[in-house]
């Protein structure tokens, strides 16, 4: 029975992490771009460093395309300093900043709740 519970717990956690990643990726990209414009490779490394998430190149490009289509971000083309290759440099739009601020206000209020923080630390 213990092995079945361990497997179930692992499955539940995996699903929770995937759902959390999907819901937070847009916000984290907006946070990253609030500091300065970045190309996809920089965003990929930032997500790995800050959140510990590894997205596929294809997955990241799909998110960036969706965010561009929604008007949350825009891109300009720039030449890579090392290779000279043409690449897209993404920046947050004013609309993207508004959405990020709204997410922060509406969805992440609990992050600053000291009771939640204390329980999290004690867990």
CATH number at residue 23: 1.10.10.10
DSSP code, position 72: S
Q: Which two tokens stand for residue 6?
A: 């361990």
Q: What is the pLDDT along the chain (123 residues), one digit of tens a residue?
A: 678 898 899 899 889 888 878 888 999 999 999 999 999 999 999 999 988 888 899 999 999 999 999 999 999 998 877 777 789 999 999 999 999 999 888 876 676 778 877 877 888
Domain count, the chain: 1
Residue 64 is predicted with a pLDDT of 97
Nearest to 80 by CA among 29, 48, 42, 31: 42
CB-neighbour burial class of residue 26 (10 A; exposed 0-12, middle 13-18, buried 19+): buried
Domain that holds residue 78: 1-122
Residue 1 is predicted with a pLDDT of 60
């Amino acid at each position: 029975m213990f092995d079945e519970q361990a497997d179930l717990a692992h499955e539940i956690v995996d699903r929770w992490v995937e759902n959390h990643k999907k819901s937070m990726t847009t916000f984290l990209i907006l946070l990253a771009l609030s500091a300065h414009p970045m190309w996809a490779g920089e965003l990929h490394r930032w997500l790995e460093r800050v959140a510990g998430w590894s997205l596929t190149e294809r997955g990241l490009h799909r998110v960036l395309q969706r965010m561009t289509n929604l008007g949350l971000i825009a891109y300009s083309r720039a030449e890579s300093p090392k290779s000279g290759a043409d690449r897209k440099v993404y920046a947050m739009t004013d609309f993207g900043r508004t959405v990020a601020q709204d997410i922060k206000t509406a969805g992440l209020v609990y992050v600053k709740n000291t009771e939640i923080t204390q329980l999290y630390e004690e867990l």
